Chain A
Amino acid sequence: MTATATEPGRAGATRDDRVASRSLAARLLSRPEVGSLIGAIVIFLLFMAVAVPFRNIANVGTILYGASTIGIMAVPVGLLMIGGEFDLSAGVAATTSGLSASLIAWNLGLNVWVGVILALVVSVAVGAFNGWLLFKTGLPSFLVTLGTFFILQGVNLGVTRLLTGNVATADISDMDGFVSAQKVFGSEIALGPVTLKVTVLYWVVLTLIAAYVLLRTRVGNWIFAVGGDAAAARAVGVPVKATKIGLFMAVGFCAWLSGMHLLFQFNTVQSGEGVGKEFIFIIAAVIGGCLLTGGYGSVIGASIGALIFGMTQLGINYAGWNPDWFKTFLGVMLLLATVVNVYVKLKADRR
């Protein structure tokens, strides 16, 4: 992105390296997501070698499902990070969404779809609230969304108990509209020997849309600009506030999508769920090449980060390693993927 400054006088004699074309390989390797792609291939080959069930094509569906539930959120969280902000409430917001849909429909005896639509309103509003608060208070998004994270945790628990007397929502599988909503949010598609959950489809579609928006549209340029330097972006006329609030609302939308999956896959939602997932989304984005400081990254990379996470999580089970060490293996694998990522990027940049 940034051209290196050279002495103006030198350009006449030798070719100006500002305009020199780099080799295709070098250009490819300097893409933010390539490091994570190579990391993913390394992890993939590793588990192919050590875990027999990992090689079974029918099990691909399980791995992709594990990756997709992370990926659906890692994509908007990655976008938000490129835009220079964090959302720590993303994991709990998904639970909030599932709870809202279920509680609204169950308490008022409404068609499940009414709950689904109102939950969308709630989720997007939570995102907009995060963005609004960010600009109103001028605090870092880390703090603002940490506040929302705790607020939502309490609301999830408090409202659920207030309305149902329990800490989980009631089973809504016997209500009108449940069957059709389950088709949309919790169904399966059989492709030959592989059974894919519908979340995999959402994950892929979201990634493609987000990648298109980021790389091929004006909004995408705005996202890079507000993440790189908000003041400079504002000076050249980028709508900083709208872009960032929009990004938070996109996270809200995806939280709704994963909340709906939670509800229609399991029929009930436990109000304490989702805590701790926000970091997994951020980690997936970072593995995928998003910088913690903003202004740089890729949504394809964030998706690959989710894939690495999914493969590692399930690969350890497939390999049958001692479960006591599960988290340790997970940590080592993630470090490995990230190190490969950084190494490839360094090599490419030097070329």
Chain B
Amino acid sequence: MTDIAAPSPGARRLGLSPDEAAARLRRRHAAEARFRAYGIGAIALAGIFLVVLIGDVIIKALPAFTEYRLTMSVTPTLEQVSSDGTTDPQALRGGDYDAALRAGLQQLFPQVTTRALRRKLNNELLSSGAAMALRDAVLADPAIIGHPVTIEALLDDAADLYLKGLMTGRRQTAGQGQAQVTVDGGTVLLRSTAPDFARILAGIKEDLRGQAAANRREAARLAAAAAATSGEGQREALSRRIADFEAKASAAEARAANAEAPETLTASRPSQLVFINGGIVKLTEIGAAEARGTVLVPLANTDAAPAGRWEIVTLTQPEADRRLDDQVIAWLENLKQRGLVSSHFATRFFTSGDSREPEQAGILGALVGSALTMLVTLVLCLPIGVGAAVYLEEFAPKNRLTDLIEVNINNLAAVPSIVFGLLGLAMFLNFFGLPRSAPLVGGLVLALLVLPTIIIASRAALKSVPPSIREAALGIGASHQQAVFHHVLPLAMPGIMTGTIIGMAHALGETAPLLLIGMVAFIVDVPGSITDAATALPVQIYLWSDLPEPLFQAKTAAAILVLLGFLFIMNGLAILLRRRFERRW
């Protein structure tokens, strides 16, 4: 008892001089500071990645959350909207609502008379969804037939993209001098007192010089290749091409050298639109002081426009490289000037199913599909998973069979999800003959996927309940089952919930097994039951990401945001449940 204080004979005294001790201390502090710095660095790096990732997705998704609509007046006549001249809903359903819209558009642009232009006006401005919206309005209230009604028609995705500034760069410069307008046959001649056009011309000349230089370089490269080659025929072919490039370069140089010579604007150059006197002129030929162009939107008059009252709009993406030509853009610009197009929050994105038309495509179908799938998964997984965990942890005899089951459950948790998809395809679709693409089958497959996770998490939660609680219950005469269900299970519930929700969140983002059981189909209707064909959020993202339209790219990002939002909500719920029900003892 008392020999603790006495030094034991074998102990060596630690002899450190004060300097050595201080040095050791410094080294230890430095090591601790270094370790802390590594930790902060790692966290900061992860944070930056996360911010960049989410920020990028949000920026890409923003265009999907707004849509442009055209406010227009239409008068749906009975002849147009009814297939048999009655207001019978069946007849109204088969009506030609496009005709009513066409008439409305014609009213907006009465000057458009040629057949080709009218077709362009009818086809390229409005979404096909506009006619459906009008049909729904007429079906809802047939009394509006024959009367002018103001509707907000959804614009086509290309028009929508242009207005959002995603189709082409747009540079607007106010006219510096006074502009005179002369109508000259089918074209308009514009003359400015200031070098407004000269600037553009100088830009074109600069481009020409660049082209010439590029041609020269190419010619030089070919010449070097020709010098190196031995074949006579090959050399001849090369020399022809060299001559060709040289000629092009010389021509471009000649044009560039003559600074005053007018240039023609082709579709492969940025378009120049002149907004003047309420109309829009597209420049086709440009000189130092004057420019010639065709009228896209008629001018109100041919008065001279003072400086600052007219402007030149440059569309940096050449007409040949974009989906909308200058004519449609001019109409859109004109509508915008008249205050008829406006941006709205795209509730459609959350209230409609998928569509071939990007402006009409919504997430609701996938959302409901995912929700139904998750419902099936949860209904299957929670009772089976928790039941299996309770049995294995609390009641099962410890023998070889239960050991085998345990090892296999742990192995199943590591099986790639696509294997479960194949299993689902073979079992549920081919053997049991369940419907393809249905949330029921998706839920079954995901349940298989999530079960091991839930069982493992639930067993861990059950194991972490202190044995004293079990003993307390048994000690006052509770049966084993009562002890488990009255005391152990409630205490394990937060852990089980957390495991379940994390497993469900995992299942929510799972794509591969759903592809195999056919939930990858293009489905427009919002599913109404678990046996309807449906798709799921991650599959919808996958489908949209594959489509070329820029608006679908935006919708892909928006769908990712929706999915992430769901995951955040689910994980938040898991944390909340744990906080709320966690009990200390």
**Physical interaction between A and B:** no
| Residues of chain B having any CB pair with chain A under 8 Å | none
